[in-house]
Amino acid sequence: MSTLTVAQPLCLRHPALRPLCVRAWFTRLIVDRMLDQVPVRALYPDGTVRGGGGPDAPVLRIVRPQSMFERLAHNPKIGLGEAYMAGDWTAADGTDLGDLLTPFAARVAQLVPRWLLRFRRVVDQRIPSRQRNTLTGARDNISAHYDLSNALFGAFLDPGMTYSSALFDHDVPLSAQDLEDAQTRKVERILDQAGVGPGRQVLEIGIGWGTLAIAAARRGAQVTGVTLSTEQLQLAQKRVADAGLTDRVDLRLQDYRAVTGSYDAIVSVEMIEAVGEEYWPQYFRALDQLLAPGGSVALQAILMEHDRMLATRHSYGWIQKYIFPGGLIPSRTAIDETLAQHTTLVVDDDHRFGADYAETLRRWRHRFTANWHEVKAEGFDETFRRAWEYYLGYCEAGFASGYLDVGQLRLTRR
């Protein structure tokens, strides 16, 4: 159960601070110029229209301009999402949120004037120290997202409860493909990539709700899985028991840094994003130490370009504040450099499918909206609804535009 609150901008709460609204006015000038470079239309309450889009372009409806621009002036990286949570702006009727956000994601590196980038350090917030992924911090960070409610995730995920990118068949129209089948295809491919088969000792770091562990066990493997989410562990253990596989699957509430043993295959799906840059060396060293001779590691990882990662890695963003505390998306370059400096491992296979993640997120978002009554019944409020709607649309736009990518990477010893 969770509720979220978004503070009213200072200049609206305290008359003595109204001169701060000058910042909002200045921010509007900058944003209007940005809008004119993007193929969208922005509609103000007074009927003013900005944007570089034609009559069929996505429409951004600005509901409360003063509040929205004050939030943006205070912190551009966090303010846009907070403004959506508060209802200061929305996608107009007939406009899909993902379609609206994608043109901005595609131009994010060009939209901000160069002279304005000089002031990035003034407005950027540092990542709070409490979000460091220490042994206790990592558990708190994971719990903040994954322990919200299994019913919440069940309302928008496929029946297999897989919370990572699906892998679609590009020889078949997307409209003809079921999400659960695409998730099964993803799981089977990464198990193939890791060489999971009968008699193999398999370690899964970050078990989700147990789908991959069950699939590996059905191949005849002996599976050890670890997670820091109590909610996930309880449901995953039940699903393993229901599948009659408790003799082949051992699931634990345990940090990857506490795992011991030797494994023929290690699989970790979209868990590296929660490790944190500070702990990448420790994470990859753990993989190296736990991998048996001749074994393989298969990681599914969200990725971004290296220069973008370097530019944003130390600043506090909306996703970190409201969705994934302690998270950081790596680049392939960062992974390669960390492996080279701290392990005997190297990436020898890299399969990318970022467009499939955009489709996966689109389906999750539409299911979340359609099943909101189920989520609301769990005690979540309207601000939470808008936060998660924005989160799913924001991430969808990142993959649809190519700003983000996802890959299945195989690691073997040099």
pLDDT one-digit tens code per residue, 173-191: 999 999 999 999 999 999 9
* Strands of 201-329, DSSP E: 201-205, 222-227, 249-253, 263-269, 291-304
Q: Tell me: the pLDDT tens digits for 233-263?
A: 999 999 999 999 999 999 999 999 999 999 9
What does the alpha-carbon distance between residue 225 and residue 400 come to, in Å, rounded to a whole number? Answer: 32
Residue 17: pLDDT band by 50, 70, 90 thresholds? low
pLDDT top residue among 199 and 312: 199
Quick check: helix, strand or coil at residue 312? Answer: helix
Q: Which amino acid is at 262?
A: S
What does the alpha-carbon distance between residue 362 and residue 112 come to, in Å, rounded to a whole number? Answer: 27
Say which CATH topology domain 131-413 has.
Rossmann fold (3.40.50)
Asked whether the predicted pLDDT for residue 14 surpasses 70, the reply is no
- Could you give the percent of the chain with pLDDT greater than 90? 85
Structure tokens at 349: 């296979």
Across the chain, mean pLDDT equals 93
> Quick one: pLDDT at residue 121?
59
Asked whether the predicted pLDDT for residue 295 surpasses 80, the reply is yes
What does the alpha-carbon distance between residue 400 and residue 156 come to, in Å, rounded to a whole number? Answer: 20
Q: What is the mean pLDDT of residues 109-126?
A: 63
What does the alpha-carbon distance between residue 275 and residue 271 come to, in Å, rounded to a whole number? Answer: 7
Asked whether the predicted pLDDT for residue 117 surpasses 60, the reply is no
71 contact partners, CB below 8 Å, separation of at least 6: 9, 78, 79, 80, 82, 83, 86, 88
> Quick one: pLDDT at residue 26?
86
> Quick one: pLDDT at residue 312?
86
* Strands of 148-271, DSSP E: 201-205, 222-227, 249-253, 263-269
Residue 75: pLDDT band by 50, 70, 90 thresholds? confident
- Could you give the percent of the chain with pLDDT greater than 70? 92
Of 400, 409, 311, the C-alpha closest to 354 is 400
Its pTM stands at 0.92
Q: What is the mean pLDDT of residues 74-78?
A: 88
The string of DSSP letters for 82-129 reads: HHHHHTSEEEPTT--HHHHHHHHHHTHHHHS-HHHHTTHHHHPPBPPG
Of 312, 299, 258, the C-alpha closest to 134 is 258
Residue intervals of the chain classified under CATH 3.40.50.150 are 131-413
Structure tokens at 336: 């390669």
Q: Tell me: the pLDDT tens digits for 337-395?
A: 999 999 999 999 999 999 999 999 999 999 999 999 999 999 999 999 999 999 999 99
Query: Treating both helix axes as pointing N-terminal to C-terminal, what angle do 97-106 and 382-401 enclose, rounded to 10 degrees?
Result: 50
203 contact partners, CB below 8 Å, separation of at least 6: 223, 224, 225, 226, 259, 261, 263, 265, 266, 267, 290
Residue 118: pLDDT band by 50, 70, 90 thresholds? low
Structure tokens at 97: 């949120």
Q: What is the mean pLDDT of residues 114-118?
A: 58
Q: What is the mean pLDDT of residues 145-150?
A: 97
